[in-house]
Amino acid sequence: MFLIISLQQTSDITLDIFHNQSKLFWNSTKREEITRNISPDISAELGFYAWEDRCLNNEVLLNETGTGNLSVLLLGNSHALCIIPGLQSALKGIYSNITTFFVGAQTPFEGFKNGIKLPEVGKAVKENKSDIIFLIFKYLNDMDEPGNGLQDENAKIQAMQEMIDFLSNNSKVLFISEMDFEVFAFSSLKWAEDVWRNGWSSDYSVKRKVS
Digit-coded pLDDT (tens) for 70-102 = 999 999 887 777 777 778 878 888 999 999 888
Residue 110 phi/psi, 5-degree rounding, is: -70, 155
Q: What percent of the chain is modeled with pLDDT above 90? A: 15
Q: Determine the average pLDDT of the residues in 122-126.
A: 92
Whole-number percent of the chain with pLDDT over 70? 67
**CATH superfamily of domain region 63-180:** SGNH hydrolase (3.40.50.1110)
> Do residues 26 and 87 lie in contact, with contact meaning Cβ atoms separated by under 8 Å?
no
pTM of the model as a whole: 0.62
